[in-house]
Structure 1
Amino acid sequence: MQSRKEYGYNSSGELGHHHDYLLPSLLRAVKDEGQGRPTRIFDLGCGNGSVAGVLVSKGHQVVGVDPSESGIAAAAGRRSEGLRLEVGSAYDPLAEKFGTFPIVISLEVVEHVYSPREFAKSLFDLVQENGLAVVSTPYHGYLKNLVLALTGAMDRHFTALWDHGHIKFWSPRTLSALLLEAGFKSVEIQRVGRVPPLAKSMIALARK
């Protein structure tokens, strides 16, 4: 039974609608970083393991954590060689337990965390030297916010009545500032879903 204190998952390993526009960019970044070869990936906020499962199916080894017990329980049905998913969060000493990785991903997570600097530090610590972090979050920009206001979509977009929903709303500038402050050397922002000014999400490629 889903706890009222956690973001719940009810399906085993199913991809969400947002993965339609996130996965192509993620898979391209992983392929480029690994030069087409299988690599080790950490999934920070792995949810129900749906993305981790896609990555493992392409030959990668994936370790992931999520604070949602229901998410990890749902992911248990897809256990396979090269896949390790456990209950845990960015507030835990993850690098001490799991080590570092060439690639660390965190999709649609940072907008849910109460302490983004702790999240960014944990992310940074998990990435090996010269490695890559791939972070996605809903996109916010001046034109998109104006369109939301003019079309009366602000309440639906900001999800105030969604338990455990979005509590931080990031722009390219603020997300880049967070990751650079954590110690990453460079951050490239890609906007995905719709035309760029009205993008659904953005993906930060942060180099350690």
Structure 2
Amino acid sequence: MAYQWLDGEHCDSHDYLLPALFQEVDLLGEAGRAFDLGCGNGSIARAMKARGWEVSGVDPSAEGVKFARQKDPEIDLHTGSAYDDLQARFGRFPLVYSLEVVEHVYAPRDYAKTLLSLMQDDGVAIVSTPYHGYWKNLVMSLTGKMDAHFTALWDHGHIKFWSVKTLTQLFEEVGLEVTRVHRVGRIPVLAKSMVLVLKRKT
């Protein structure tokens, strides 16, 4: 089953995720090819396309891809997932990004291996996921927000809850190195999400 989409517009989380994504993308210089792993409804891919990037991508939600194509019939987004052999289908890219996806996957090591396989040798990956840490979890516990945050009743919702340490460990296992971490959405200790920038280990 896939995450459910209602339209092709940005989500509220894009207000704080996109500035961090664009900050890192701008450091890469001239726009080129990019892959959107977990493209959802295509709203981020369209924003990247507007900045000059040639974006391909996949998402397991046929509904999300349908909304993406309604907004831009020319966009290169398809139904698929991180469990597919995406490199064989699409090749490798100088930039791979995947925003708010890894918290939804049942087999995160397979996801991480696919992310790595899509990256050129000198490529960059940008991954975001909701942030978890001691102080944020303590504040949620003291304010009675734990049940709402961990969303046990959300169909197709979050099933993995990552800290910087655990997500870094996941990527290190497959041969990726974290070069920068942005905590976004609130003050860092209570951040809504974290954005990790990755490259291949040397």
TM-score, length of structure 2 as denominator length: 0.96
Report the alpha carbon displacement of residue 78 of structure 1 after superposing the two structures with TM. Answer: 2.4
Percentage of pairs with the same residue:
55
Q: SS state of the match for residue 176, structure 2?
A: coil
8 Å CA contact 1:180–1:187 kept in 2: the answer is no
8 Å CA contact 1:176–1:187 kept in 2: the answer is no
Partner of 1:178: 170
| Cα separation, 2, equivalents of 1:130 and 1:80 | 31
| Cα separation, 2, equivalents of 1:80 and 1:127 | 26
Q: How many pairs align?
A: 200
Structure 2 unaligned runs (5+)?
Answer: none
Partner of 2:66: 73
Structure 1 unaligned runs (5+)?
Answer: none
| Cα separation, 2, equivalents of 1:6 and 1:169 | 18
The reply on whether 1:130 has 2:122 as its aligned counterpart is yes
| Cα separation, 2, equivalents of 1:120 and 1:161 | 27
Q: SS state of the match for residue 189, structure 2?
A: helix
| Cα separation, 2, equivalents of 1:119 and 1:68 | 16
Report the alpha carbon displacement of residue 6 of structure 1 after superposing the two structures with TM. Answer: 2.2
| Cα separation, 2, equivalents of 1:66 and 1:167 | 17
| One of 11, 16, 23 as aligned partner of 1:21 | 16
Deviation digits for residues 82-137 of structure 1 (CA, Å, limit 9, x no counterpart) = x3000000000000110000000000000000000000000000010011010000
| Cα separation, 2, equivalents of 1:94 and 1:124 | 11
Provide closer, same or farther for how the CA distance between residues 80 and 6 of structure 1 changes in structure 2, counting only shifts above 3 A: closer
| One of 7, 10, 15 as aligned partner of 2:6 | 10
The reply on whether 1:109 has 2:106 as its aligned counterpart is no
| Cα separation, 2, equivalents of 1:185 and 1:142 | 23
Partner amino acid, structure 1, of 2:24: A
8 Å CA contact 1:179–1:187 kept in 2: the answer is no
4+ runs deviating over 4 angstroms: none
The reply on whether 1:32 has 2:24 as its aligned counterpart is no
8 Å CA contact 1:66–1:88 kept in 2: the answer is yes
Partner amino acid, structure 1, of 2:40: G
Partner of 2:113: 121
| Cα separation, 1, equivalents of 2:52 and 2:71 | 15
| Cα separation, 1, equivalents of 2:139 and 2:178 | 30
| Cα separation, 2, equivalents of 1:169 and 1:186 | 18
Report the alpha carbon displacement of residue 80 of structure 1 after superposing the two structures with TM. Answer: 5.4
Cα RMSD after superposing both structures:
1.0
TM-score, length of structure 1 as denominator length: 0.94
Partner of 1:56: 49
